[in-house]
Amino acid sequence: MAYETLQLIPGLVNKENNHEQLFDQLKELMTEQRNRDTMEIDLADPGQIVRMIHAEDAKVAKSVETRLPQIANAVEMVRESIQNGGRLLYFGAGTSGRLGVLDAAECPPTFGTDPDRIKGFIAGGKEAMFQAREGAEDLESNGAVDVQKASVSPPDIVCGLAASGRTPYVHGAIKEASLRKCKTILVTTVPAGQVDLEVDLMIDVAVGPEVIMGSTRMKSATAQKMVLNMITTGAMIRLGKVYENVMVDLMLTNNKLKERAKRIIMFLSDKSYKEAQQILEEANGQVKTALMMALTDLDKKRCEKLLDKNSGFIRKALNQLES
């Protein structure tokens, strides 16, 4: 079982005698309540177990749906930041931290982003990705130090990820980012009323009690993964990384992606496999430029100028040619 350590309310207790307060805060969290629908799961057979888990997972999407306006605001915040040279930086602990690192790692091959543009930080550093280091999340100073080391400054956005909403590492990162005048987002799976932290945007997806009490690697993690997918994918769409519903700015870092790029050019422009391969070579592996070349039969230089003039949007560039 993995769950984030709670952030103590400032001024209530000192470091030596905080255990009772920590216990009291823990027992009030929605994700720490017992789930009435899974009380008999320890007696269930495999089929019953997976049906119980699936039934609870099915509720997650509905919970996320209640926060779509806030997620849309996050999409626009990230789009504006990246367009102005900023970064999206995730800070989390345990499962939440791993989800941030995962989302950040997937953006370069999918959308052709600079690896430094979207980054994930996890309490305890890289080693914590593979082996739990629970104590690393217990100090706000650890989060603040990681923000300092990352040289965070506007227009960077710091997005904290904490199922409990109270992880000290995450609080420290967000507070330090705020001191540096950066915009902040918190993604949590408890109601906002259970979170004692000021942020520019709160995305509180209240998933309710977990299948196994306190195991936030389950419904809470699923909700956070959904939210992060929406934020980065939405921002990339708004930055012109997608044509129709196809990713057209992918990086050709392996054979699968090279073949996918050829297929994209082929079915969007009716070019043959050989023609698609040749165009990709002429475009130096830049899929968006190659697709523009295939759709217009213009040379690489002209297509690059058209895309640059239209902020990287293929559809806008094509409309300009037709007007």
- pLDDT tens digits for the chain (323 residues)? 233 333 333 333 344 346 666 555 666 677 778 888 899 999 999 999 999 999 999 999 999 999 999 999 999 999 999 999 999 999 999 999 999 999 999 999 999 999 999 999 999 988 888 887 767 788 999 999 999 999 999 999 999 999 999 999 999 999 999 999 999 999 999 999 999 999 999 999 999 999 999 889 999 999 999 999 999 999 999 999 999 999 999 989 899 999 999 999 999 999 999 999 999 999 999 999 999 999 999 999 999 999 999 999 999 999 998 87
Angle of CA points 305, 308, 313, to nearest 5°: 115
- Cβ atoms of 6 and 26 within 8 Å: the answer is yes
Class of domain 242-322: mainly alpha
What 3-state class would DSSP assign to 211? coil
| Element at 274 (helix H, strand E) | helix 273-282
CA distance 185 to 67: 13
What CATH number was assigned to the domain covering residues 15-238?
3.40.50.10490
Burial 136-173 (b: 16+ CB within 10 A, else e): bbbbbebbbebbeebebeebbbbbbbbbbbbbbbbbbb
What ranges do the domains of the chain cover? Answer: 15-238, 242-322
What is residue 2's predicted lDDT score, i.e. its pLDDT? 32
Residues assigned a catalytic role: 106, 137
> What DSSP line would sit under 191-249, residue for residue?
-GGG-----SEEEE----S-SSTT-TTTHHHHHHHHHHHHHHHHHHHHTT-EETTEE--
> Which amino acid, residue 260?
R
3 state DSSP class of 33: coil
pLDDT at res. 285:
94
Q: Beta strands 246-247 and 242-243: pairing type?
A: antiparallel
N- to C-terminal Cα separation, the chain: 60
- Residue 45 is predicted with a pLDDT of 97
Which pLDDT belongs to residue 13?
Answer: 35
Instruction: Give the pLDDT of residue 17.
Output: 45
Residue 254 tokens, joined = 């392996």
The rounded distance, in Å, linking the Cα atoms of 267 and 47 is 42
Vertex 69: Cα angle to 64 and 70 (nearest 5)? 80
Q: What is the pLDDT of residue 180?
A: 98
Strand runs labelled E in 28-173: 88-92, 118-122, 157-161
